[in-house]
Amino acid sequence: MEILVTGGAGYIGSHTCLELLKAGYKVIVIDNLINSHKVSLERVEQLAGKSLTFYEQDLINKDDLKKIFTQHDIKAVIHFAGLKAVGESVNFPLSYYKNNLMSSLVLFEVMAQHNVKKLVFSSSATVYGNPKAVPITESALRSTTNPYGTTKLMIEQILEDLAISDNEWEISLLRYFNPIGAHASGLIGEDPNGIPNNLMPYITQVAAGRLEELNIYGKDYETYDGTGIRDYIHVVDLAKGHLKALEYSHKGIESFNLGTGIGSSVLDLVTTFESANGIFIKRKFVNRRSGDIASCYADVSKAKQILKWETKKSLFDMCQDAWRWQNQNPNGYLDINPKV
């Protein structure tokens, strides 16, 4: 079965492509490589012992996308492609709305034209905004605190309307919490451009000496240690959740939280990283960031019950695997020959 993966060269996309190949699927990747690297896909092929088909292009190019659907017998789509940095979205909202919404609309139109109506959409816990209660269930009120989250929510609404208009669609909205970690081989992992927006690559780059110290944003939240609480999930567990959603046969649209259901503070993550790897992380507290919230973690009972999916890896595992990736690839995918 041929599966189209948009944004498949990215962090979560590459790990998902590996799991798809291992499960016997034929994988077609579209990625414009704006915030990803083709090397990741070469390493995916190396790990899987199988090849995939790669197209370097932008989803907004409708005619090119149509050709791919004509040339391949695509049965389903996993849609990752999009700009993804919360802080950047606040500074450049128009870029986020144009890129994330337009590319998605073009993709959904071409899927409909080729009668490909099974879709797994990469959504986000940001659609819950500042939650009124935790753990968060899929039925919680949705709102957003930044343009990135708003694009995810708007695409969810588009897909809800699409499912109402045509009951042949099978759509799964996967709301991720905080993916971290890397493949246990150390060959694929998170490789952000410039200074990282996410916590774990910031920690690993401090550990590697690329950054001097870690900024911890806020120490006065109403949490047990004053730092923000999040639901950190291993990227491999997350990738496997996409396969479960792909295998789930249903009509209409369903949303699923993908997390561990465990809230860990920023300091928990830092100290676990230190314990897992024997490395001290120099840090300092700075002011809160606009749009950050105190606590956000998932109720994952729906995914466990319906998708038969649950996480296997611990926070300790996530920290070990993240450091292995960084240590073997000090400069990310620019290191063509990683240390082993």
Extended strands (E) in 126-244 = 170-176, 178-180, 214-217, 229-230, 232-234
At 65 the pLDDT is 98
Q: Give residue limits of the domains in the chain.
A: 2-334
Share of the chain above pLDDT 90, in %: 91
H or E stretch at 257: strand 252-258
Element spanning 74, H or E: strand 74-79
**Which one from 96, 148, 221, 232 is the annotated catalytic residue?**
148
Q: What is the mean pLDDT of residues 223-231?
A: 97
pLDDT in tens, 89-112: 999 999 999 999 999 999 999 999
Q: What pLDDT is attached to residue 150? A: 97
pLDDT at 87: 82
Q: What is the pLDDT of residue 337?
A: 64
The radius of gyration of the chain's CA atoms, rounded to the nearest angstrom, is 19
Lowest mean pLDDT among 34-43, 80-89, 110-119: 80-89
Residue 84 reports pLDDT greater than 70: yes
Does domain 2-334 fall into CATH 3.40.50.720?
Answer: yes
Active site residue 176: no
Reported as a pLDDT band with limits 50, 70 and 90, residue 121 is very high
pLDDT in tens, 12-25: 999 999 999 999 99
Helix (H, G, I), strand (E, B) or coil at 115: coil
Cα–Cα distance between 4 and 68 in angstroms, integer? 9
